[in-house]
A and B are shown apart, each in its own frame.
Chain A
Amino acid sequence: MALLDVRDLRVRFETHHGVVRAVDGVSFSLEEGETLGLVGESGSGKSVTNLALLGLIPNPPGVVESNGVMFEGHDLTKLSDRELRRIRGNQIAMIFQDPMTSLNPLLTVERQLTEVLELHKGMSRRDARKKAISALGDVGIPSPDQRVDQYPHELSGGMRQRVMIAMGLLCDPKVLLADEPTTALDVTIQAQILDLMRDLQHRHGTAIVLVTHDLGVVAGTTDRVNVMYAGRLVEQASTSSLFAAPQHPYTQGLIASVPRLDGDPNADLYSIDGSPPDLANLPVGCPFAPRCDQRQDRCTQESPVLENLSSDSARRASCFEVETVGGAS
């Protein structure tokens, strides 16, 4: 049985401009110890998906619906706030993109780290401090016994991100939801943080959902990938098969439009025409159809669903042009 099983998750925001369907029927599962990539552009619903799993979508304006978010036999969406709080930060932890805004500037690193331990593990202040120092050491922060008494503004961006990771891993969570953990960092620091996450995963067997828009990061760190567009999953595959043969035209375009260090620098970059649709005002049919270079008449009338590929039952795509088990084409 999967560690985490998300079934038909839908999140909508009721705004003045109409109903924004930020996540529209997303289903996926996460196995123990694996890293699942969640890829897409800004506004595709990747972060909202993660927030919804932990019940962090404010209501109003947000409304979360699903056929269940199963974690160890519990449906997370059915739990009370109290019960959810026991899981949040403890068994499922989250790392946010911007460590400057997600750490509390008024508290020392120690207070931010020990809070979780006192709350979830009932540790004494002194034991919690010891554990916090060793956690900082684990994420490669030099002289952790001094750093623990500092405030976030005294740390560099890379250091702060390490503190966030240390905080996420304090309670040895089974699932780590990492939302663009390296996007705000420079490449040399990003390489350090990704190495660190890989290393910690090997040691603790944590399963990671890695939200990112960087296909290079996805290629190097994930086992499987979900590609999102306009709030929907358009393709699911193992990382190696996705990059070897992307099926959905959006995935194909996305991979082709990344400039590469080993590509031909004199060739024009492939680019996807147009821009992502307005989620409050989605086109009829496939949401990618207006930008798609393989568009058929049918694409602007009906919505394709995510189905297993005929050629590879471990992969799924939602496109009429791809041969699927449902016999769409």
Chain B
Amino acid sequence: MSAPLLQVTDLEKHFAVGKKNFMGKATQTLKAVDGVSFELERGETLGLVGESGCGKSTCARTIVGLYPATAGSVKFEGEELMGLSRSEWMPYRRKIQMIFQDPYASLDPRQTVSSILAEPLAIHALDKPRDRRLKAMALLDAVGLNPRHVHRYPHEFSGGQRQRIGIARALALEPELIICDEPVSALDVSIQAQVINLLEDLQERFGLAYLFIAHDLAVVRHICKRVAVMYLGRIVEIADRDDLFRDPQHPYTQALMSAVPHPDPVLEQTRERIVLTGDVPSPMNPPTGCTFHPRCPAKDGVPGTRCQEEVPHLRNIDGGSGPRQASCHLDATAATQTSA
């Protein structure tokens, strides 16, 4: 079997924060990403979900080298990316592109759409200068914008149209992987649906793989084949989409799904909800053991103080349509009890 398109192993990104000591070193560590592993196949979509501050965006930025990783490995088509120099990165920049959340902040207001879209082509010395405008027009057409608007500036477009320009820019270099960091969360519902459909069409047309970062579970369920749930810098559950949404294993995944309001008043009045207490703890000072234990509604099911003391690791779970893992002591206890 050939290597997966993207293979992330034990990725860590720690930030030094807080007051500096007499040696000029920061005294605290913020473990934004703390041991994340996953694989992404060609043409597939992996969703990375979690609440604000869980480390999903940091994870994406570390993978593309915008932050240097603290530890771990990121392999693209079997080649290690961590520790590459700027010039060694260049060929991979063509193959891995990114779409950002805020369509207002991620486009240069002083450049026309034409020069925004031609810039990556110029950097990588692709196409002749005079062909770049034609390419830009073709890209606009591909994302459903009028190619004649190529001379306009970003402020002349609406939010949804700007996000389409961001997508066109990501497509310019014909990448194999696009990392989408909350690409639709700043958009209105009716526009969000347009952009989701566009991303799906483009994936089919160009055989793209997406790492799709979002906090909206319904959007993730729509677009992703596999889904990883993050909490405080770690993946707590990863599974095929259908398995995860039919039968979530980790108590956090269950609570997260239950918190999503359904656009259906009848269902909303009848369904049972798990409402978590408390806030997401600070990643500077995470709880001991399982970092979810202070909010976990299921911890009483685990005997003793195991959840408070022992960090649970991702374990394989049987009975899914694909490989599936969760990190909770509860299943482990149940498993040992049944085997005893």
Contacts and interface: CB of A to CB of B under 8 A. Distances in A.
Contact of B266 (A189, A240, A259, A265): A240
B158 interface: yes
Give the most central of B197, B241, B264: most A CB within 10 Å: B264
A258 B216 CA distance: 11
B14 to A, nearest CB: 22
Nearest to B225: A265
A329 interface: no
B197 A159 contact: no
Interface in B182-228: 188-194, 196-197, 200, 215-219, 221-222
B319 interface: no
Given A261-B218, A270-B193, A187 B260 contact: yes
B264 A192 contact: no
A243 B276 contact: no
Interface in B264-317: 264-269, 273, 275-277, 279-280
A20 to B, nearest CB: 15
Nearest to A42: B188
Contacts of A192: 275-277
B187 to A, nearest CB: 9
Contacts of A239: 265
Contacts of A260: 218, 262-264
A41 B189 contact: yes
Given A159-B279, A191-B276, A259-B219, A219 B190 contact: no
Interface string A183-197: 000111111101100
Given A187-B51, A220-B261, A265 B193 contact: no
Interface stretch (A50-58, A172-180, A201-209, A210-218): A210-218
Given A186-B51, A217-B261, A220-B265, A257 B189 contact: yes
Contacts of A190: 259, 261
B256 interface: yes
Contact of A243 (B192, B261, B263, B279): B263
A156 interface: yes
B71 interface: no
Nearest to B218: A259
A253 interface: yes
Contacts of B111: none
Give the most central of A158, A219, A239: most B CB within 10 Å: A219
B255 interface: yes
Chain B interface: which size bin? 35 or more
Given A259-B218, A261-B221, A219 B261 contact: yes
A186 B222 CA distance: 19
A261 B257 contact: yes
A191 B259 contact: yes
Contacts of B221: 259, 261, 265
Interface residues of A, number: 45
Nearest to B186: A42
A63 interface: no
A220 B269 CA distance: 7
Contacts of A263: 218, 222
Contacts of A143: none
B263 A216 contact: yes
B154 interface: no
A250 to B, nearest CB: 9
Contacts of B264: 219, 243, 260, 262
A275 interface: yes
A253 B266 contact: no
Given A191-B275, A270-B193, A261 B265 contact: no
B45 to A, nearest CB: 11
Contacts of A156: 279-280
Contacts of B275: 188, 191-192, 195
A186 B260 contact: no
B29 interface: no
A255 interface: yes
Interface string A258-279: 1111110100111111011000
A219 B189 contact: no
B204 to A, nearest CB: 11
B276 A259 contact: no
B333 interface: no
Contacts of B191: 41, 275
Nearest to A217: B261
Contacts of B241: 265
Nearest to A253: B190
Contact of B52 (A41, A186, A265, A275): A186
Contacts of A133: none
Contacts of A271: 190, 193-194, 197
B190 A41 contact: yes
Contact of B158 (A261, A269, A275): A275
A166 B161 CA distance: 39
A254 interface: yes
Nearest to B191: A275
A258 to B, nearest CB: 5
Contact of B265 (A42, A191, A243): A243
Which 9 residue pairs of A and B lie closest in terms of their CB atoms, listed nearest first?
A216-B261, A271-B193, A220-B268, A257-B193, A186-B51, A41-B188, A215-B263, A272-B190, A191-B259
Given A41-B191, A220-B265, A262-B267, 5 more contacts: A42-B159, A188-B255, A260-B264, A261-B262, A275-B158
12 contacts: A41-B188, A157-B52, A158-B279, A192-B275, A215-B189, A219-B264, A254-B189, A259-B221, A260-B263, A261-B260, A262-B262, A271-B193
